[in-house]
Structure formats: C-alpha cells, structure tokens
C-alpha cells in the first residue's frame, strides 16, 4: 500500500503542467513585511535576553564587590 501511494504521487507529479502564475505586487509586499517582521522579532528577543544575561552577571559582580569590601 505504501509503495502504491509513492507510485501514485510520482505519477501525478510527472503530469503537472505549468501554472503560468505570477506574484503580484501586493503579495510581494506582504512577503517583504513578513521578513522584516521576523527580523525585528529576532532582534527584539535577542536584545531582551542579552539584557537579562548582562543583569545576571552584574548582580553577581556587585555581590562579590560587596563581600570583598566587608
């Protein structure tokens, strides 16, 4: 049964014809907006976690400095 599905898929993929389609300007701008949004999301997330990481190590450094002063 599994090989039948594979052969059926290959058969139909060989029969595919050209679509003669295009991406209109509206679709292109949506794709560009999605890419820019993804980049902004990654940058914001990295910035948030970078600040958390810096604050974590600064707290440890401050504690060490306070202990050394005593």
Give one word for 38, left, alpha or beta, with left for phi > 0 and alpha for psi -120 to 50.
alpha
How many domains does the chain divide into?
1
CA distances from 3 to 12, 13, 14, 15, 69 (A): 14, 15, 17, 19, 75
Instruction: Classify residue 49: in a domain, yes or no.
Output: yes
Percentage of residues of the chain with pLDDT beyond 70: 84
Dist. CA 34–CA 21, nearest whole Å = 21
Per-residue pLDDT, 64: 59
Instruction: Classify residue 48: in a domain, yes or no.
Output: yes
Instruction: Classify residue 45: in a domain, yes or no.
Output: yes
Tell me: pLDDT of 60 over 80. Answer: no
Domain extent, residue 42, equals 30-70
Tell me: pLDDT of 63 over 70. Answer: no
């Amino acid at each position: 049964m599994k090989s039948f599905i594979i052969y059926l898929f290959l058969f139909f993929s060989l029969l595919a014809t050209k679509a003669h389609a295009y991406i209109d300007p509206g679709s292109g701008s949506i794709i560009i907006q999605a890419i820019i949004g993804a980049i902004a999301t990654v940058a914001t997330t990295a910035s948030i976690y970078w600040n958390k990481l810096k604050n974590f190590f600064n707290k440890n450094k401050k504690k060490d400095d306070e202990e050394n002063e005593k």
